Structure formats: structure tokens, C-alpha cells
């Protein structure tokens, strides 16, 4: 059986307060580009995975702009090690096991509720932000196909730069995806957006 998210009225807010406080200490500034229209639908957020901060950045974005009940998929061994993340919306996936089907079903179930957001890292692992292409696993397509109601599929790209600051600056880009919900189409669209974000970031100045 998978480990399901279990939002706690005390532990969840405390962890959010703690990580946001830590985030403000560790980063110089936060810059949000693009933005999403809140269509009052469940949100599936597809994001690059460059560090352990990614989920925290997405949580911060959600708290600031979309205000959904936050959920995110993470490897079972990591969730068992960091058990408290379950209380901020973490649920487990165990690759190459039969429980993957249960994880997909659970993700699809969450996306039947317009108050929910599900964050996915389609690469399934942490990779350098300097990659030109992100290869998707098939989970995104399988989840979308399971959901019978309309959902809002959003892309997020997180990049960091220092410039002249002693601490990194976060640059968060977002856009909405619409089109055929196949792994190939979503992967192509995401990579086009990702390359555009890299291009825009490369010409930024202090």
C-alpha cells in the first residue's frame, strides 16, 4: 500500500511556517514570471526537479497565488525518511512495483476535487537545471487519462542565479498547457517552455 497524504491542522502549518522562514534565510529574493489564471479547477503542476527545494518553491507559489490543498508525489524511501512531509501533502510512489498503479489512481482521485493541487516531477529524479531536454516518465499521461473531469495542467520551471548577491535568487516561470494529453505532446510542450525560460534567464542582468 502507498503512503497517502495526511494534512494535519497543527503539523502542516508549522512545517510550512518553518520552511518558508528557512527559505527566506537561504535566498536573496524570489521572482515570479508568467502566472496562471485560476480557473477554479483541480491543478496538476508539472515541474523541473533541480534540488530538494523544488517542492518548497511550488508550495510557496501555491500559497501565494492558487491557494489549493497541496499534494506532491515522492519516492517512498524518501517519504519514510522524511515522514513529516506527509503532513504537508506528500504521498509515496515506489518505482517498478505494483503499487505504482495505486499511486496513479490516488493522484487521479485527488484531481477530482477542485480544491486540490498535485505536483509532479516528470523526470522522476533530480537533474541539472542546465539540461536542454527533460525526458518524461509516463506517469503524467496515465494520471491525466484516469481523470474524467476537467483539470488545469500547469508547467513550472525553477531556475536560480546569484548575480552579485551572496545568496541565490529564485526565478520561477509558469504557464498553462492545453492540448493532447499524451506523454509525447506534454514532454514536447514542456521542453519548449523550458528552453524558452533558459533563454530568457540567460539575458537577465543585475
pLDDT tops 80 at residue 205: no
At 95 the pLDDT is: 84
At 19 the pLDDT is: 84
pLDDT tops 90 at residue 96: no
> For residues 87 and 48, what is the distance between their CA atoms, to the nearest angstrom?
23
pTM for this structure?
0.93
At 34 the pLDDT is: 83
pLDDT tops 90 at residue 204: no
pLDDT in tens, 145-159: 999 999 999 999 999
pLDDT in tens, 17-46: 988 899 999 999 999 998 788 899 999 999
Measured in degrees and rounded to the nearest 5, phi and psi for residue 113 equal: -110, 120
pLDDT in tens, 164-196: 999 999 999 999 998 877 888 999 999 999 999
| Mean of per-residue pLDDT scores for the chain | 92
At 174 the pLDDT is: 96
What's the average model confidence in pLDDT over 124-153? 90
Amino acid at each position: 500500500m502507498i503512503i497517502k497524504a495526511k494534512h494535519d491542522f497543527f503539523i502542516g502549518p508549522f512545517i510550512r511556517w518553518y520552511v518558508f522562514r528557512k527559505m527566506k534565510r537561504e535566498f536573496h529574493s524570489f521572482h515570479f514570471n508568467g502566472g496562471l489564471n485560476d480557473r477554479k479547477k483541480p491543478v496538476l503542476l508539472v515541474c523541473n526537479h533541480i534540488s530538494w527545494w523544488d517542492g518548497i518553491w511550488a508550495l510557496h507559489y501555491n500559497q501565494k497565488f492558487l491557494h489549493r490543498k497541496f499534494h506532491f508525489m515522492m519516492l517512498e524511501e524518501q517519504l519514510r525518511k522524511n515522514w513529516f512531509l506527509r503532513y504537508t501533502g506528500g504521498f509515496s510512489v515506489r518505482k517498478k512495483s505494483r503499487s505504482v498503479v495505486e499511486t496513479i489512481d490516488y493522484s487521479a482521485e485527488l484531481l477530482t476535487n477542485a480544491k486540490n493541487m498535485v505536483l509532479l516531477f516528470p523526470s522522476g529524479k533530480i537533474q541539472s537545471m542546465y539540461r536542454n531536454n527533460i525526458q518524461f516518465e509516463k506517469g503524467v499521461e496515465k494520471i491525466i487519462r484516469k481523470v474524467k473531469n476537467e483539470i488545469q495542467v500547469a508547467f513550472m520551471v525553477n531556475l536560480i542565479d546569484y548575480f552579485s548577491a551572496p545568496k541565490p535568487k529564485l526565478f520561477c516561470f509558469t504557464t498553462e498547457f492545453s492540448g493532447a494529453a499524451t506523454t509525447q505532446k506534454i514532454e514536447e510542450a514542456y521542453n519548449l517552455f523550458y528552453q524558452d525560460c533558459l533563454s530568457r534567464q540567460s539575458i537577465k542582468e543585475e
